Amino acid sequence: MKKMKKKRFERRHLMEFFVKSIMQTALLIVAGALGLILWAVITRGLPSLTWDMVSQVPQGGYYMGKEGGILNAIIGSIYLAAGGTLLAMLLSLPIALYLKTYLGDSKWGECVRLSLDVLWGIPSIVYGAFGFALMLTLGMRASLLAGVVTLALVEFPIMTRAMDEVIRRMPADLEQAALALGSTRFEVALHVVARQTLPGITTAILLAFGRGIGDAASVLFTAGYTDRIVTSPMRPTASLPLAVFFQLGSPYPEVRERGYAAALILTVIVLLVSFGSRWLSARLAKYTIK
């Protein structure tokens, strides 16, 4: 370009080059941060990661560096996140479908979206405090059930907004074709919209699951902590993020090292969920109308 025009090389062209390099550096810094995080967690967590960590519950003196593992926390976290995700789905799916098929871009629809965005922004510690306030009022103790309900509150705005984003982007033709053939809106929602956007809905559910399994602040008050594997929804349960948190706060170096190993386990689970959802939605996308 510059050669063709035989133009003077002006200051603004130098500026262009300069600004562009700064921007590329900024992007590299952000991407590099991810690399640094993963590298730090892996190199620090791997040495103390043993099979016992994932297959044993804490034995006596575990928190002073004796043997045992965090199976209780892994299982507890899976229960908590799965329960929370199921409960959140019961709310999210109807809201997301209703937003598309009945409300569209109406005033009330925007209002619901606004409230969901606001709920998304409420920090999980506030949900935790809210769950705790409810438990105090009801005279309940920390339990798996209370943790599941609180996590569902944390997860459902994330899930609904993620679903809404995909459902909204669905081309209007399909919906209109079904309506033109005489379907009711309910039938459109159930048989057309839900099926067509199934890959996106799956991604949204797994996104919320991943968020739920890593959330510590909401289960801190509500789910409690115990060294046994939880057997009843009314009993307290351990969770992986809290296992990391408590162990990293320990004065014993061995325990802290195992905290880093637990952080590595949590990271691996979250990454698996994240990549799994990508893979699953790509597979499910085969069955949609393009």
Partner 1 sequence: MSEVNSTFIAQESRKGEGRGSRPSAAFRARQDKAARRAFLVVTILPILLILVVAAALFARAWPILSAYGLPSLLFGKVWKPNNGQFGFLPFILGTVWVTLVGALLSVPACLLAAVYLAEYAHSRTRAMTKPILDVLAAIPPVVYGAWGLIAIVPFVDEVLAPLCDRWLGFIPLFAVNQPTGFGILAGGIVLAVMVAPLIISVAFEVFSTVPNDLRHASLAVGATQWQTIRNIVLPQAKPGIIAAIVLAASRAFGETVAVLMVVGNVPNIPTSIFDSAYPLPALIANNYGEMMSIPLYDAALLSAALVLLAVILIFNILSTLVLQRVLRRK
Which of 23, 46, 64, 282 is in the footprint of partner 1 by CB under 8 A? 23
Min separation Cβ 166 and partner 1, Å: 15
**Which is closer to partner 1, CB of 56 or CB of 267?**
267
Residue 122 found at the interface with partner 1 (CB under 8 A): yes
Which of 46, 64, 177, 271 is in the footprint of partner 1 by CB under 8 A? 271
Stretch 150-189 residues interacting with partner 1 (CB under 8 A): 153, 157, 160, 184-187, 189
**Which is closer to partner 1, CB of 23 or CB of 177?**
23
The Cα angle at residue 218 between residues 213 and 222, in degrees rounded to 5: 105
Stretch 185-214 residues interacting with partner 1 (CB under 8 A): 185-187, 189, 207, 210-211, 213-214
- Draw the binding track, 30-69, toward partner 1 (x: CB under 8 A; -: no contact): xx-xx-xx--xx--x-------------------------
Min separation Cβ 110 and partner 1, Å: 6
Residue 22 found at the interface with partner 1 (CB under 8 A): yes
Residue 116 found at the interface with partner 1 (CB under 8 A): yes
Min separation Cβ 173 and partner 1, Å: 19
Look up residue 144 and give its two tokens. Answer: 């798996």
**Which is closer to partner 1, CB of 36 or CB of 289?**
36
C-alpha span between 217 and 150 (Å, rounded): 10
Residue 100 found at the interface with partner 1 (CB under 8 A): no
C-alpha span between 69 and 62 (Å, rounded): 8
What's the residue count for the chain? Answer: 290
Residue 124 found at the interface with partner 1 (CB under 8 A): yes
Stretch 133-152 residues interacting with partner 1 (CB under 8 A): 133-134, 136-137
Look up residue 26 and give its two tokens. Answer: 């900024």
Residue 76 found at the interface with partner 1 (CB under 8 A): no
Per CB under 8 A, which region of 51-59, 67-75, 227-235, 243-251 contacts partner 1? Answer: 243-251
Per CB under 8 A, which region of 62-70, 172-180, 258-266, 280-288 contacts partner 1? Answer: 258-266
**Which is closer to partner 1, CB of 78 or CB of 125?**
125
Q: Is the Cβ–Cβ distance between 242 and 222 less than 8 Å? A: no
Min separation Cβ 282 and partner 1, Å: 13
Q: Is the Cβ–Cβ distance between 58 and 67 less than 8 Å? A: no
